[in-house]
Each structure stands twice: as C-alpha cells, then as structure tokens.
Amino acid sequence: MRRRLPALNSLKAFEAAARHESFTRAADELCVTQGAVSQQVKALEDELGVRLFRRERQRLLITEAGRFYQDVVRDAFDRIGSGTERLLQRQASGALTVTTSPNFATKWLVHRLRRFSEAHPGIDLRISASLHHVDFAREDIDLAIRHGDGQWPGLDVTRLCTEELFPVCGPKLLEGRHPLRAPHDIRHHTLLHTDRSDDWAEWLRKAKVEGVDVGRGIVFNQSSMAIDAAVDGQGIALARTALASWDLLAGRLVRPFPQSIEAPYAYWIVCPKASAELPKIATFRAWLLKEAADDARRMSELAHLRATKRPRSARGVP
C-alpha cells in the first residue's frame, strides 16, 4: 500500500511551529521567513483537511488535532534522527573492506595491520587481495590500494609513495666467491625477473654495465616471488621501493648499488569521492600515509648508512 506522506518541508514547518507555538521563532530556527512557515503550515492544513492551529490576538494556539499530529510527527523525526546517528556511527567505525594486489598485501600491508588494529580497535579490517580493479558502485569495497598512473576519473585518489626500481639481494651475495662490489659484478649472478624483463636492460644501461645477457635468469609472474627468491639468496631482483622496503629495513635484503631507475607507476589510495571523508576511511588513509612516510625516512637513513660503508668502486669512484 502506498504511503500517504505530506511534503517534508510542510512537516518541518509544522513541527517547529507547534514546538515553539510561534511562526516567527519557527522561521528563525529553519532560516526562512515567517511568511514561508505560515504558507507551509497552511498547505499542510489544506492537504489534511484539518485545522492544526488557531490564530487569536497575535497568539498561535495549537488545536487538539494539531497536538495529536505534533506527537506523531515529532516521534517520526526523532526516529529518523536516531537512525541517522546510528548509521553515521556505523560509517565511522565497524568494518572497513580494503582491496589491493597480492604483491602489495604480502610485502607491504599485512605485517603492519596489527599496529593499525591496536591504534583503532573500533575499526575491523577486511582485506581482499586481488588483481581486479573493483567497481565501487557494484562491489562492497570501501577503499582500494591500486598500482597504476593514478588516473581514475570520478574517484578520490591519493599517492601513497614515490617509487624507484633498484637491485636487491640477500646479504650473503656481498661476500663469497663473486662479491657484489660494483655493478659489473652482476654478470656473475642470476638475474631474477618479473614479466617486465626490459626493466633490467634499462637499469644496466643506466649503470653503464655491458656484457650481461638480460634474457637469462628466472622469470616470475609476481614481484613478491622475485623478492622472496632474492631474500633466499637465489639471485638479484630488480625491486620496487614499496615492495622491498620491509625486507630491506629488516636486513633480509640489501641494496648493493645506489643506481635506480624511475618506476613508471606508483601505489595509490583510491575510494569514491562521496565517501572519502568518512571517519573510518580518512583514518585508514592517514595511517597508510604515515606508514609510507616512516618507511621513506627509514629508507633514507639506511641508504645514507650504506653509502658510508660502500666500497669506492660501488659508488662509481675509481
């Protein structure tokens, strides 16, 4: 059965006028003119066919029917207000569903989540690892961390961090039979590739290294696998800043040479514009940015420390 509902503005004008017993004070509250309130109430009376107020000697008196309807309307408004508040509280806390790539989840995000949960116990994270770029309008996802160029029209997009590509390996490769002292020493070790095999060729050109066959080595379809193989001492991987930072800072990986190339893409925090400032989303975004900034600071300190210990030949000094 179709509900018979008067216009909302008429109901708001009536409820305020009944509560204040004054069109003037109701108009002040609603930020409209006294005449507008009077017209809205008159329209409501005409629609209902019931007189809600009596006007006597510059006084506004509510009728018995008006008093009954006031209770009904006030109760409805109270329930709407209470429901709205509960909805906003749910948006501010509760579950937050985040999607990102398996590489980023494994090498950057997962090991940090305990810190977020301890700092924000009211937000329950749901992490989905997928290469699929979600459709926020159709899927129950609050926020995504995407790898790309940041061009996603209609979405709120924030760069998480700047990225470079550079060689990484296990610490043991700095010593042994063929220690990595200078870029040309790479020729003695296995190259660990991802599907983008041209990255190694570009890095070798920048480092002025010749005689290395970039077609050899092991090829992985996930960057995290190449990084794990480097941690295991199986060879040298060309890694992105974000994906390698955890292992570098923990000492499981080292960066043998300072040369790097610009990464064509970066990681971005993405969500619908309409929900970008919801408390739980804003909180998680701020935490992500702080984590990334802390990584950048610690990586800079590590690079400085490494530079002071690196042999002169590794720094390009004859």
Q: Which pLDDT score, from 0 to 100, does residue 305 have?
A: 82
pLDDT range class, residue 6, cuts 50, 70, 90: very high
Quick check: is 156 in a domain?
yes
State whether 133 and 148 are in the same domain.
yes
Average pLDDT over residues 133-145: 89
* Whether 146 and 276 share a structural domain: yes
pLDDT of residue 318: 37
DSSP secondary structure code for residue 145 in this structure: E
Quote the domain boundaries for residue 169: 164-263
- Both 273 and 132 in one domain: the answer is yes
Instruction: Enumerate the β-bridge partners of residue 146.
Output: 268
Inform me whether the pLDDT recorded for 234 exceeds 80.
yes
> How buried is 111 (Cβ within 10 angstroms: 0-12 exposed, 13-18 middle, 19+ buried)?
exposed
Same-domain check for residues 272 and 148: yes
Residue 1 lies in a domain: no
Instruction: Give domain status of residue 239, yes or no.
Output: yes
Residue 219 lies in a domain: yes
The reply to whether 233 and 115 lie within a common domain is no
Are 144 and 21 in the same domain?
A: no
Q: How confident is the model at residue 286 (pLDDT cuts 50, 70, 90)?
A: very high
Q: What is the pLDDT of residue 310?
A: 59
- 172 and 254 together in one domain: yes
Our count of domains for the chain comes to: 3
Domain shared by 132 and 246, yes or no = no
> Using CA of residue 262, residue 267, residue 273, residue 278, what is the dihedral sign?
negative
Residues 249 and 129 in one domain: no
Predicted TM-score (pTM) of the model is 0.69
User: Do 255 and 193 belong to one domain?
Assistant: yes
User: How much is the pLDDT for 316?
Assistant: 47
Residues 17 and 139 in one domain: no
Check which CATH number belongs to the domain holding 55 and give it.
Answer: 1.10.10.10
